[in-house]
């Protein structure tokens, strides 16, 4: 997959029911199972993104939803999703509570980085670049 994802690929679930989530700017791509939030899937696969409450309440995990759709199974407050600096035309999401409904691309904030906490254990990962 290149920089611009193919729209058809975005809509198609993987055969095993997973959707793929690509995390910008590192372009790390992970599979997210139907019963997992994006943060759950990142953790399962040895990554840490910035988060705090993991309950949709604090906004620490807030990311731009570049492409795709997500659903929230528990109510989240809109002001927490949008955050203080709402930019027109830009959609945000809370990865700690978001269940992908398609392949999804999210972009972390400038100061937020995806950390590979299991890197030392030598597991290799798929990256989109």
Query: Which residues 73-102 are close enough to bind other proteins by CB under 8 A?
Result: 74-77, 80
56 binds other proteins (CB under 8 A): yes
Sheet bearing 19-24, strands edge to edge? 28-32, 19-24, 104-107, 63-67, 92-93
Contact of residue 77 among ligand FES, other proteins, none (CB under 5-8 Å per partner type) = other proteins
Q: Which of 25, 2, 5 is nearest to 112 (CA)?
A: 25
Of 5-13, 14-22, 54-62, 121-129, the segment contacting other proteins by CB under 8 A is 54-62
61 binds ligand FES (CB under 6 A): yes
In 3-state terms, what secondary structure has residue 66? strand
CB of 32 to other proteins, least distance (A): 18
Q: Which two tokens stand for residue 96?
A: 């700690």
Number of residues that bind ligand FES (CB under 6 A): 12
Q: Residues in the site for ligand FES, rule: CB under 6 A?
A: 51-54, 56-61, 94, 96
């Amino acid at each position: 997959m290149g920089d611009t994802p193919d729209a058809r690929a975005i809509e198609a679930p993987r055969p095993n029911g997973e959707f793929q989530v690509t995390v910008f700017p590192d372009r790390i791509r992970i599979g997210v199972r139907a019963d997992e939030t994006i943060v759950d899937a990142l953790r399962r696969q040895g990554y840490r993104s910035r988060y705090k409450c993991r309950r949709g309440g604090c906004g620490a995990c807030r990311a731009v939803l570049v492409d795709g759709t997500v659903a929230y199974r528990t109510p989240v407050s809109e002001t927490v999703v949008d955050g203080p600096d709402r930019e027109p035309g830009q959609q945000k999401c809370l990865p700690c509570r978001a269940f992908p409904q398609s392949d999804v691309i999210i972009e972390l904030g400038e100061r937020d980085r995806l950390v590979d906490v299991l890197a030392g254990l030598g597991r290799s990962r798929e990256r989109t670049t």
